[in-house]
Amino acid sequence: MPPILTSKDAMACQYQGNVTMAGTPKLVVLGGQALVASILKTCVIPDCHGKESSQPVCAAVSSAEGGAGKLFVQGEPVLLPAAVVQSMPGPHKVSLQPGSPGQTKLVAS
């Protein structure tokens, strides 16, 4: 079973803009907020500057799919490392940074 994603797992858009986490934690694992789609949809990407552009290409997270089938936070599946995350406008791909997920304490399927 893979470890769940938390707010301590670094994510960036395809132009290397960092995803800034937001939201109120409902489940905390080793100091990181367990991630579900609704939490990621409140995240912004303030430092995205697309290729050869001084204007942000990615502004926020628009969607996240790939939740666990057996572990839920307030009725929503927690996200796993294979989750597909998109930014808007776009859509552009958002990826986990190498070394994520960092925690292995809580796993799900």
Please write the tens of the pLDDT for every residue from 58-85: 889 999 999 999 999 999 999 999 899 9
Tens digits of per-residue pLDDT, 10-64?
A: 899 888 889 998 778 889 999 999 999 999 999 999 888 776 666 668 889 999 9
What pLDDT does 106 receive? 87
**Order of strands, edge to edge, in the sheet holding 11-13?**
11-13, 92-96, 76-88, 60-73
What pLDDT does 74 receive? 92
Residue position matching structure tokens 């929503």? 76
First to last CA, the chain: 6
Supply 63's token pair: 């969607």
Q: How confident is the model at residue 103 (pLDDT cuts 50, 70, 90)?
A: confident
